[in-house]
Amino acid sequence: MRALRSADAASGRRAAAGSADAVILLLHGYGSSEHDLPGVIPALGLDLPWASLRAPVELPNGGAAWFEITTPGDPAPGPVNEATGAVWTWVDEHLDAATSVVPLGFSQGGLMATQLLRTRPERVLAPVVLGGFVGSAPQPADDDLARSRPAVFWGRGADDMVIAATAVARTAAWLSLHSSLDEHVYAGLGHGVSAEEIADVAAFLAGQTGARSTTRS
């Protein structure tokens, strides 16, 4: 698996990510790229630095994936664990040890956000799962999470036909037992992200991280 790379530096706040108290880590979906999710940063309007990673599996369409799709909604544990390790390698190489990671992932990237929480929860703050799901394989920190129940945002479209119903049911069950869940289901939304959802994410992250708003009233 190749080393991960991040989107080109775009702002001073992004460039300062390495030594920040908390950094938003953007994790794109299957077939997309590291240039997809940075568009939500201005809409969030929060004074938090960010980094956007490119997934390690290159696809013929020019996009990337965190792992190949075998059984939809139930990926093989090996490739998922390998991708999770690659993300942690990037974090350890680019961020200070005291910096909290705020993973924000869409679809396959949403699963990766839960993987970070389930492997090194002491490093993760306020994960955001957009149109994503949790894997079925047990992870090292699951028992600890059942006790600590950290805050997690899970948003999805009511009309999402991409994520398998079994994966949605698994995610609902797991999050109800392992997190303090902030769940939102958006009427009329398919496998995507809406302005209403991003507003809810902004409120969630502001409350969990204490980040200041960058928008002027």
pLDDT (tens digit per residue) in 117-162: 999 999 999 999 999 999 999 999 999 999 999 999 999 999 999 9
What's the rounded mean pLDDT across residues 47-54?
Answer: 95
Residue 2 corresponds to which tokens in the numbers above? 């190749």
- Contact 30/56 with Cβ under 8 angstroms? no
Say how many C-beta atoms besides its own lie within 10 A of residue 174's C-beta.
20
- Contact 132/108 with Cβ under 8 angstroms? yes
pLDDT (tens digit per residue) in 81-93: 999 999 999 999 9
pTM (two decimals): 0.93
Class of domain 5-209: alpha beta
Start-to-end CA distance of the chain, whole Å, equals 46
Residue 195 predicted with pLDDT over 80: yes
**Residue ranges of the domains in the chain?**
5-209
pLDDT (tens digit per residue) in 70-115: 899 999 999 999 999 999 999 999 999 999 999 999 999 999 999 9
